[in-house]
Chain A
Amino acid sequence: MIFEEPRYLYSGDRYLLLEFGDEMNLELNFKALGLAETVADDPIPGVIETVPSFATLLVHYEPDQTDFHTLKDALHERVASLGSTADITLPSRIVELPCCYDDPWTKAAVDDYRKKIKMIEPNPEATARLNGLRDVRELIKVHSTPQYWVAAVGFWPGLPFMMSLDPRYVLTVPKYNPPRTWTPQGTVGMGGSCTAIYPVNTPGGYQIFGRTPVPIWDGAQKFAPFSKSPVLLKPGDRVKFVPIDAREFIEIENEVAAGTYTYNIVDYDLFAVARYTQFFEQGKKDVGYSAAAAEEQSATTVA
């Protein structure tokens, strides 16, 4: 449900959690990002930072400079001035990331889990089967066709949580239980309908079936897109995966190691929610969320 009025919740003596609703719906995330954007552009006294997520905005504040009630009123005014979600326009970069699907590295991680922890169905076959797709080729097509919306970044430094922007290309998978103890750096995986990229080798619970050779975390900040922080993807960015094979993966990996790799980022784009909603409604009317549609439709851009 999308709440008529947002809920303002105590989250300790330094944080306020604002809930726009309680469902997984991109409209709620657009509201959270729109509000985060206005607070960043025109700061509210006492606010240190905000953390947008799918349906919420966490507001970190300095209690010596404001209090929960003053902040709640100020945020409520901002929410009102945002107008309807359709009026929201967000700066949104488009980041192209090469992705080697059905790659040997994530397969090795899954094999290791199957041997040591639990005998599960291997990927990417499991993800394809669970979504009624014919084969791995079709899975690659369905996963690499839409743009992905970075709804939130976190849990681990630089880890993006992304949703497909095309209702015709949405996959859904269960998470691992128990989680893996390791996942190769750059692994692309899914939990629920959310796609994530592992910035570094960490434990993880998502189904994994691809890997990007391009760092999304650069601790040394040597590549240009990392001049402000070691994190590549920010909430409100869009990601487009470009399928590559293992040979291309190695080539790009070598360019990265040599420091000669150039990121492919469109930095001037805006994302207009009204235009997107129009597209989304049309997309929902089209047949099939994946299999059939994947064959018929070519890549679609929005905004």
Chain B
Amino acid sequence: MLEFIKPGLETSVQDFPGRIGFWSLGIPPSGPMDALSFQLTNVAAGNAPGDPGLEVQFIGPEIRFQADTVVAVGGADMKPKVNGQLIPGWEGVPVSTGDVLTFGFAAQGCRSYVAVAGGVDIPRVMGSCSTFVKANIGGIGGGAAKAGTVLKTSPSVRPLAECSGRRIVDAARPAFGASWEVEVLLGPHDDWLTDADINQFTSFEWKVSSLSDRTGYRIEGPDFEFGHKAHNKLPENGSDPSNIIDFGYSVGSVNFCGQTPIILMVDGPSLGGFVNPFTVLSTSLWKLGQAKPGDHVRFKVVTEEEARALRADFKAAVSEQSVTR
């Protein structure tokens, strides 16, 4: 069992791929913002990659272990400590009853993940333990951890001695920084922009706005012209060039709200009336999940084949191949 002495900024239970199958009712998948680090952290703890674990954002919690177990911490390096001693990241670390896990601040990235052997045990809501805090869906009674929250853990499928010392190899660990290159596919509405607009989007170094959270990431940069289609349409599309008749959004859509692109994240809206000229690859979205306000982002258009290759790399990383002892 885990006891929260301090909850941190917004520490929530997430699983992967989250709450799937309810998008047509407006219920988002939720799940980790950085699905790569989340799954690797689970693998380090000896769990299945998608098992329920904790997402730690910006300011970490203080957690007391109420049983002997193995814990792995991955994602942004928030300098995790057990009883005041730094512990290595991306590695199964044995802890004893009464030990306390604390965090510092990350120099790069902003979300850490905590996996305990066996995974966190909370009731599933619509098939998932993931938390959508803004709508009080799933998680710990619909929300994030509070001071005093106690979470049960499921029994580990591996003996604890086997979970301890499992380590993600350096080559499989995601690279962190203050500038990110994020792969996108063109579409669905790239034909609403001019060629100059598309070039501008992919050549400019965008700045992540402070108005960014688990629903969407706003980026700051230059204005767009918008193409013929955006300026010549039926009135029911709306008056702004970026308006279109409401349609279903993808997770990862680059949603042009007037002149502000917002990348829709895992708690984002399922539909709306703004065009999406680009869509971030599902295997690249983790980079935005780690980008901090003020970080810089460049977007790179890839082909379908390149997207497939990146997917294969991602899947290979999230596997036993990445583990050493």
CB distance from B323 to the nearest CB of A (A): 22
Closest 6 pairs between A and B when the two form their complex, measured CB to CB: A58-B248, A12-B279, A51-B248, A154-B26, A10-B187, A9-B188
Could you say which residues of chain B place their CB within 8 Å of the CB of A36? 24
Could you say which residues of chain B place their CB within 8 Å of the CB of A54? 245-247
Q: Does A68 contact B (CB under 8 A)?
A: yes
- Indicate if the CB atoms of A157 and B27 lie closer than 8 Å: yes
- Indicate if the CB atoms of A219 and B136 lie closer than 8 Å: yes
Residue of B whose beta carbon sits closest to that of A155 = B269
Could you say which residues of chain B place their CB within 8 Å of the CB of A52? 24, 248
Could you say which residues of chain B place their CB within 8 Å of the CB of A10? 185-188, 279, 304
Q: Does A22 contact B (CB under 8 A)?
A: yes
Measured between alpha carbons, how far is A67 from B186 in the docked complex, in Å?
16
Interface of A is mostly: loop
Within 8 A of B (CB), among A55-74: 55-58, 60, 63-64, 67-68
- Indicate if the CB atoms of A155 and B26 lie closer than 8 Å: yes
Q: How large, as a class, is the contact surface on chain A?
A: 35 or more
Residues A153 and B248 in contact in the complex (CB < 8 Å), given A10-B186, A10-B188, A23-B236: no
> Which of these binds chain A: B34-42, B88-96, B216-224, B249-257?
B249-257
Residue ranges of B at the interface with A (Cβ–Cβ < 8 Å): 20-28, 126, 132, 135-137, 142, 185-189, 233-234, 236-238, 245-253, 269-272, 276, 279-283, 304, 307-308, 311, 315
Q: Does A76 contact B (CB under 8 A)?
A: no
Residues A12 and B250 in contact in the complex (CB < 8 Å), given A22-B245, A157-B135, A219-B142: yes
Could you say which residues of chain A place their CB within 8 Å of the CB of B26? 153-159, 231
- Indicate if the CB atoms of B24 and A24 lie closer than 8 Å: no
Residue ranges of A at the interface with B (Cβ–Cβ < 8 Å): 9-15, 17, 19, 22-24, 36, 48-58, 60, 63-64, 67-68, 152-159, 161, 192-193, 200, 219, 229-231, 234-235
In the complex, 10 of the A-B residue pairs with CB atoms within 8 angstroms, ordered by the A residue number, are: A10-B185, A13-B281, A13-B308, A17-B250, A23-B234, A54-B246, A55-B247, A153-B24, A154-B269, A219-B136
CB distance from B294 to the nearest CB of A (A): 25
Residue in contact with A219 in the complex, picked from B137, B186, B247, B281, CB distance below 8 Å: B137
CB distance from A196 to the nearest CB of B (A): 11
Measured between alpha carbons, how far is A13 from B126 in the docked complex, in Å?
25
Could you say which residues of chain A place their CB within 8 Å of the CB of B236? 23-24, 192-193
Measured between alpha carbons, how far is A293 from B280 in the docked complex, in Å?
49
Could you say which residues of chain B place their CB within 8 Å of the CB of A49? 20-24
- Indicate if the CB atoms of B248 and A154 lie closer than 8 Å: yes
CB distance from B262 to the nearest CB of A (A): 13
Could you say which residues of chain B place their CB within 8 Å of the CB of A157? 25-28, 132, 135, 137
Could you say which residues of chain B place their CB within 8 Å of the CB of A153? 24-26
Residues A14 and B250 in contact in the complex (CB < 8 Å), given A9-B188, A50-B24, A156-B26: yes
- Indicate if the CB atoms of A56 and B247 lie closer than 8 Å: yes
Could you say which residues of chain A place their CB within 8 Å of the CB of B280? 12
Residue of B whose beta carbon sits closest to that of A7 = B188
CB distance from A6 to the nearest CB of B (A): 13
Residues A51 and B24 in contact in the complex (CB < 8 Å), given A22-B234, A58-B247, A161-B246: yes
CB distance from A221 to the nearest CB of B (A): 9
Could you say which residues of chain A place their CB within 8 Å of the CB of B279? 10-13, 15
Measured between alpha carbons, how far is A230 from B135 in the docked complex, in Å?
11
Could you say which residues of chain B place their CB within 8 Å of the CB of A23? 234, 236, 245
Could you say which residues of chain A place their CB within 8 Å of the CB of B281? 12-13
CB distance from A298 to the nearest CB of B (A): 29
Interface centre among B238, B249, B283 (most CB of A within 10 A): B249
CB distance from B315 to the nearest CB of A (A): 8
Measured between alpha carbons, how far is A24 from B281 in the docked complex, in Å?
30
Could you say which residues of chain B place their CB within 8 Å of the CB of A24? 234, 236, 245
Interface centre among B135, B185, B234 (most CB of A within 10 A): B135
Measured between alpha carbons, how far is A193 from B269 in the docked complex, in Å?
21
Measured between alpha carbons, how far is A17 from B276 in the docked complex, in Å?
11
Could you say which residues of chain B place their CB within 8 Å of the CB of A192? 236, 238
Measured between alpha carbons, how far is A24 from B188 in the docked complex, in Å?
19
- Indicate if the CB atoms of A231 and B25 lie closer than 8 Å: yes
CB distance from B284 to the nearest CB of A (A): 9
Residues A53 and B247 in contact in the complex (CB < 8 Å), given A155-B272, A229-B25: yes
Interface centre among B137, B247, B253, B272 (most CB of A within 10 A): B247
- Indicate if the CB atoms of B24 and A22 lie closer than 8 Å: no
Measured between alpha carbons, how far is A155 from B189 in the docked complex, in Å?
19
Measured between alpha carbons, how far is A31 from B52 in the docked complex, in Å?
39
- Indicate if the CB atoms of A11 and B187 lie closer than 8 Å: yes
CB distance from A61 to the nearest CB of B (A): 11
- Indicate if the CB atoms of B245 and A55 lie closer than 8 Å: yes
Measured between alpha carbons, how far is A154 from B24 in the docked complex, in Å?
7
Interface centre among B24, B249, B272, B283 (most CB of A within 10 A): B24
- Indicate if the CB atoms of B24 and A63 lie closer than 8 Å: no
- Indicate if the CB atoms of B185 and A235 lie closer than 8 Å: no
- Indicate if the CB atoms of A58 and B234 lie closer than 8 Å: no
- Indicate if the CB atoms of A234 and B25 lie closer than 8 Å: yes
Measured between alpha carbons, how far is A288 from B263 in the docked complex, in Å?
44
